[in-house]
Structure 1
Amino acid sequence: MKMVLVLFLLVSLALSSCFFEVSIAGSALLVHGLYGIADFCDSKCAVRCSKAGVQDRCLKYCGICCEKCHCVPSGTFGHKDECPCYRDMKNSKGKSKCP
């Protein structure tokens, strides 16, 4: 009985994470269609860079990454798994390009 419950919880967790990613992408596309990519990126990058030490640099690189990837991870730090394109962009030195 415990094994069935554990299996059920794992399956439901996996399914819910798939729907979560789809809902994030869907809301981003809706915003792009209504306001344009620049407004979307500006608002998301303002949140992402709100606690950055060097704000203008953070906003610049976040904007570049957002326009190319059409997404910005939530919060001010981390959560880059929400946007694989954003996470995987590298600079010429092999470090993460996106803040």
Structure 2
Amino acid sequence: MSTNNVELFIVIVYILVEVKRMLRLKIKQLRELEDLSVRQLSEATGIRWNTLSDMEKNTAKHWPHEHLETLMKYFKLKHIDQLIEYVEEPGE
């Protein structure tokens, strides 16, 4: 992954502190497309299963850029919006 992409991940992680409730990871959708359980994805990526589960449910305190990069590589994603989506909160 290029330096620019790593820098983008770092910026995104910092931004998540402010807007995390509006951003959602698409891990579950990607995982289900591959017919994988959380544990199978954990074994394939080296990311702890409970960390993946928390990231899926948007209850993780943060999204380490190393995990985001690992998931991008595993699912062969080219753009960050294939992994992260913006969701407007009700009433906004």
Whether the TM-score (by the shorter chain) exceeds 0.5 is no
- From the two aligned structures, give the one with the greater strand fraction: 2
Calculate the TM-score normalised by the size of structure 2.
0.35
Task: Identify the structure with the greater helix proportion.
Answer: 1
- Which structure has the larger Rg? 1
TM-score normalised over the length of structure 1? 0.34
